[in-house]
């Protein structure tokens, strides 16, 4: 924060931090702030310093300050180390002390001072005389905290006045011990100054904020940029407060007036921060004013820190006209009438503006301003396809405009809109109808009217109106409609049609109707099995088809247990009375279960047909062996084969032939091979047997042993 603001705004931004804790103690802390400058004329450094709190100030008024200085080589320090003034790296030395005047010095100063300075010295002495008063106040228990706050505010304000008085007047600063001159400072040096209490008897941990003074630096300009806001009979100025400057004294000048001081006492911003401003009222519009703004440095010097110019403007619009009427008087003419009260001296004329919405973008009609004495206007440029809203506006010489509320004109219109177009429609299974229509292109469209009928030979019945509010800017037309119908009806279809209406209630023809089929909720009748024939590995089934008129297909199911899952065998669209299907590739002797369903065009399924069971019969014959060959493997000749049935009841008998072609049983085995190496037989066949004597296969063909 800038040093001047630290000094002047003590009670604004910091005095409330009464219980701020230090880094290494539980005591509340306070600060002593200091600023310095180098006087090249006198070749010395001037210092001003003040405590942060009233209680610390009273300690200083009793015992005074110790002034310390450290000479720096900034090449050895980082910026944060200089700012924080770390003790281990910066060595301070005492260069002097200050004390307030004693009673004799106060009396001498008051005796020799001029009348204006006497007032300021007396104000400082009054505060000095209270240095031994105890802190605190008596307050009524009923008022409680409020009285404490009031007392605290008074103390803070007194402190503020004292500090500002001392910083504005060197004599007051010296009298209070807030001023010190370092005659040992040289040009081109960097010094770090701080002020320390000569004695601290309070409970506060008092910190000394150091100030870095570079005596070789040129003094920076205090001039700052000013922003101006031109108002009605007033001007506002805003600027960034320059460093080392506080307070505002303003001067004003106009074309017909020389510079005039607007205040004799500096205005101080009590809001803190780095922004400040000035407001001047009671001015004359249209005249340019020039301003100069002065402030005070911490050393009591008045400096010009900003200049600005501005011209107040007339921002008051004329009284709004009174709208009388706006009517469509001829096919291509609208007549607008209005009235107006006593007109202001700077009144210029009237404007008529038209828009398509009541709060939309109004465009001026005509290329000339309407004279003061005119109260009627005829518009021949309006559109029959759009809505027309009008406003009458009054304008003065400064360009300020007042306006009537918008007025809507109902056009004489006998042209109806085009019939609507239905683009989509459907009915769900619960009877909810959804219909979407296409938005008409007419600009004066009001909305739609929905009709429906159960039979085209009947009269159309009104179902719903969906109109917009013509006076609303939100023109969202309803294009999707919902309706609920009964599903149980003698009429299988329902029909819908729409009518469009414009703002003049002209009705279109009915749209082309949409025909919707009512959802089917009745499933078809159940098919019935008529006959079942079984074979060795198949079942031949015949069932009577469902005779429902909307039947679409029939599904035949099979299961391998009475309670098992039904597997679809076939789905057929066969029509007629009966349908037959041969279910092949079944296992002989295994029981199978069958059922069927009918499905209609809506996907509804009938109940399952009463289940039927069937078992392909077993004729006792086992299948042949397959892939019978003689192979040479590992110098052995092996007779090998494959067999599709795998169970412990199966075994194989190997046969050969003698010279008379008689069958000779060679051996029995459960293996799928037999070693014929070194045997005298040249022809072999295999027959399959079961432990059930009734089950056996036929003898396979004989194969010969290769040479």
Question: Does residue 190 belong to any structural domain of this protein?
Answer: yes
**Tens-place pLDDT, residues 487-510:** 877 788 999 999 999 888 899 999
pLDDT confidence of residue 121 = 86
pLDDT confidence of residue 82 = 58
Percentages helix, strand, coil for the chain (3-state, rounded to 5) are: 10, 40, 45
CA-to-CA separations, 172 to 95, 118, 169, 486, 630, in angstroms, rounded: 22, 10, 5, 100, 134
Q: Give one DSSP letter per residue of 456-494, joined into a string.
A: TTSPPEEEEEEE--TT-S------EEEEE--SS-S-SEE
Question: Does residue 300 belong to any structural domain of this protein?
Answer: yes
Looking at the fold, whether 145 and 18 belong to one and the same domain comes out as yes
Range from 81-90, 255-264, 278-287 carrying the lowest mean pLDDT? 81-90
Q: Give one DSSP letter per residue of 500-542, joined into a string.
A: EEETT--BPPPPPPEEEEPPP--PPPPPEEEEEEE-SS-EEEE
Taking 70 as the threshold, does the pLDDT of residue 76 lie above it? Answer: no
pLDDT confidence of residue 21 = 41
**Tens-place pLDDT, residues 578-600:** 999 999 988 888 999 999 999 99
Q: Determine contact, residues 619/697, Cβ cutoff 8 Å.
A: no
Q: Determine contact, residues 78/213, Cβ cutoff 8 Å.
A: no
Question: Does residue 437 belong to any structural domain of this protein?
Answer: yes
Which DSSP category does 409 fall into?
-
Question: Does residue 523 belong to any structural domain of this protein?
Answer: no
Q: Which residue has the higher pLDDT, 278 or 273?
A: 278
Beta-bridged to residue 158, according to DSSP, are: none
Range from 19-33, 227-241, 399-413, 525-539 carrying the lowest mean pLDDT? 19-33
pLDDT > 90: percent of the chain = 47
| Banded model confidence at residue 17, pLDDT cuts 50, 70, 90 | very low
pLDDT confidence of residue 24 = 46
Number of domains within the chain? 6
Question: Distance (Å, rounded) from C-alpha 656 to C-alpha 666?
Answer: 7
Q: Residue 706: CA atoms inside 13 Å, Cβ hemisphere, count? A: 8
Looking at the fold, whether 365 and 502 belong to one and the same domain comes out as no
> Could you say which of 586, 614, 642 is where a domain stops?
614
User: Residue 680 belongs to a domain with what CATH number?
Assistant: 2.60.40.10
**Tens-place pLDDT, residues 139-181:** 454 555 555 556 556 666 667 777 777 777 888 889 899 999 9
Question: Distance (Å, rounded) from C-alpha 194 to C-alpha 588?
Answer: 115
Q: Determine contact, residues 495/514, Cβ cutoff 8 Å.
A: yes
pLDDT confidence of residue 210 = 93
Taking 50 as the threshold, does the pLDDT of residue 34 lie above it? Answer: yes
Looking at the fold, whether 491 and 465 belong to one and the same domain comes out as yes
pLDDT > 70: percent of the chain = 90
Integer-rounded Cα radius of gyration of the chain: 56
Q: Determine contact, residues 626/643, Cβ cutoff 8 Å.
A: yes
Residue 70: closest CA among 98, 89, 50: 89
Looking at the fold, whether 248 and 183 belong to one and the same domain comes out as no
SS3 state of residue 175: helix
Beta-bridged to residue 651, according to DSSP, are: 689
Looking at the fold, whether 493 and 587 belong to one and the same domain comes out as no
Looking at the fold, whether 505 and 385 belong to one and the same domain comes out as no
Looking at the fold, whether 190 and 163 belong to one and the same domain comes out as yes
Looking at the fold, whether 52 and 186 belong to one and the same domain comes out as yes
Residue 297: closest CA among 289, 288, 305, 285: 305
Taking 80 as the threshold, does the pLDDT of residue 111 lie above it? Answer: yes
pLDDT confidence of residue 25 = 53
| Banded model confidence at residue 238, pLDDT cuts 50, 70, 90 | very high
Parent domain of 593: 528-614
Average model confidence (pLDDT) across the chain? 85
> Could you say which of 493, 517, 541 is where a domain stops?
517
Question: Does residue 403 belong to any structural domain of this protein?
Answer: yes
pLDDT confidence of residue 334 = 93
Taking 80 as the threshold, does the pLDDT of residue 333 lie above it? Answer: yes
Looking at the fold, whether 9 and 132 belong to one and the same domain comes out as yes
Looking at the fold, whether 202 and 278 belong to one and the same domain comes out as no
pLDDT confidence of residue 505 = 87
Question: Does residue 340 belong to any structural domain of this protein?
Answer: yes
pLDDT confidence of residue 88 = 55
**Tens-place pLDDT, residues 656-688:** 988 888 889 999 999 999 999 888 888 999 999
> Could you say which of 356, 384, 408 is where a domain stops?
408
What integer is the mean pLDDT of 175-192? Answer: 92
Looking at the fold, whether 399 and 437 belong to one and the same domain comes out as no
Question: Does residue 685 belong to any structural domain of this protein?
Answer: yes
Looking at the fold, whether 286 and 348 belong to one and the same domain comes out as no
What integer is the mean pLDDT of 240-256? Answer: 87
What integer is the mean pLDDT of 103-132? Answer: 86
Question: Does residue 581 belong to any structural domain of this protein?
Answer: yes
pLDDT confidence of residue 144 = 54
Question: Distance (Å, rounded) from C-alpha 314 to C-alpha 312?
Answer: 7
């Amino acid at each position: 924060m800038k040093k001047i603001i630290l000094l002047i705004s003590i009670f604004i931004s910091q005095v409330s931090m009464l219980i701020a804790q230090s880094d290494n103690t539980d005591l509340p802390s306070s600060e002593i702030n200091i600023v310095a400058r180098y006087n090249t004329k006198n070749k010395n450094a001037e210092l001003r310093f003040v405590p942060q709190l009233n209680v610390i100030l009273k300690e200083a008024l009793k015992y005074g300050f110790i002034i310390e200085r450290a000479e720096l080589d900034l090449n050895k320090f980082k910026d944060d180390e200089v700012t924080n003034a770390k003790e281990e790296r910066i060595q301070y030395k005492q260069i002097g002390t200050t004390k307030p005047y004693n009673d004799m010095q106060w009396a001498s100063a008051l005796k020799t001072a001029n009348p204006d300075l006497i007032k300021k010295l007396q104000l400082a002495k009054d505060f000095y005389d209270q240095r031994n008063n105890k802190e605190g106040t008596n307050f009524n228990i009923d008022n409680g905290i409020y009285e404490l706050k009031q007392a605290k505010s008074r103390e803070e304000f007194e402190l503020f006045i004292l500090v500002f008085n001392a910083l504005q007047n060197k004599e007051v600063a010296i009298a209070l011990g807030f001023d010190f001159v370092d005659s040992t400072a040289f040009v081109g040096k960097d010094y770090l100054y701080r002020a320390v209490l000569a004695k601290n008897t309070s409970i506060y941990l008092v910190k000394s904020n150091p100030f870095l003074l570079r005596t070789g630096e040129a003094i920076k300009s205090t001039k700052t940029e000013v922003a101006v806001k031109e108002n009605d009979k007033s001007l506002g100025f805003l600027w960034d407060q320059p460093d080392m400057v506080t307070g505002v004294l303003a001067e004003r000048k106009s074309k017909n007036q020389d510079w005039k001081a607007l205040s004799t006492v500096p205005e101080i911003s009590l809001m803190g921060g780095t922004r400040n401003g000035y407001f001047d009222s009671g001015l004359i519009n249209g005249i340019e004013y020039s301003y100069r703004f002065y402030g005070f440095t911490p050393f009591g010097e008045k400096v010009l820190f900003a200049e600005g110019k501005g011209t107040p403007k007339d921002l008051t619009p004329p009284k709004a006209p009174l709208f009388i009427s706006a009517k469509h008087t001829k096919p291509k003419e609208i007549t607008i009438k209005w009235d107006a009260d006593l007109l202001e001296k700077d009144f210029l004329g009237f404007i008529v503006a038209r828009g398509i919405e009541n709060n939309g973008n109004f465009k001026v009609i005509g290329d000339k301003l309407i004279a003061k004495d005119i109260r009627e206007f005829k518009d021949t440029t309006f559109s029959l396809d759009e809505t027309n809203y009008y406003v009458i506006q009054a304008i003065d010489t400064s360009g300020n405009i007042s306006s009537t509320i918008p007025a809507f004109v109902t056009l004489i219109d006998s042209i109806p809109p085009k019939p609507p177009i239905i683009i989509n429609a459907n009915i769900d299974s619960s009877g909810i109808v959804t219909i979407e229509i296409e938005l008409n292109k007419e600009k004066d469209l009001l909305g739609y009217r929905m009709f429906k009928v159960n039979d085209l030979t009947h009269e159309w019945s009104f179902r719903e109106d969906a109109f917009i509010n013509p006076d609303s800017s939100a023109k969202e037309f309803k294009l999707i409609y919902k309706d609920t119908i009964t599903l149980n009806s003698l009429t299988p279809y329902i029909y819908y049609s729409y009518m469009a209406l414009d703002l003049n209630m002209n009705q279109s023809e009915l749209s082309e109707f949409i025909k919707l089929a009512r959802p089917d909720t009745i499933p078809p009748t159940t098919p019935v099995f008529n006959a079942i024939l079984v074979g060795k590995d198949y079942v031949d089934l015949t069932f009577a088809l469902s005779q429902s008129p909307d039947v679409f297909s029939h599904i035949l199911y099979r299961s391998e247990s009475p309670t098992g899952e039904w597997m679809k065998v076939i789905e057929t669209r066969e029509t007629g009375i009966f349908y037959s299907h041969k279910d092949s590739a079944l296992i002989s002797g295994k029981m199978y279960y069958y059922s069927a369903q009918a499905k209609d065009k809506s996907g509804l399924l009938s109940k399952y047909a009463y289940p039927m069971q069937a078992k392909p019969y077993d004729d006792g014959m086992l299948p042949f062996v397959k892939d019978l060959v003689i192979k040479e493997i590992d110098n052995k000749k092996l007779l090998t084969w494959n067999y599709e049935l795998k169970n412990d009841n199966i075994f194989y008998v190997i046969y050969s032939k003698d010279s008379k072609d008689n069958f000779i049983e060679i051996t029995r085995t459960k293996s799928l091979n037999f070693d014929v190496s070194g045997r005298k037989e040249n022809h072999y066949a295999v027959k399959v047997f079961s432990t059930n004597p009734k089950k056996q296969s036929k003898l396979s063909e004989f194969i010969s042993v290769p040479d």
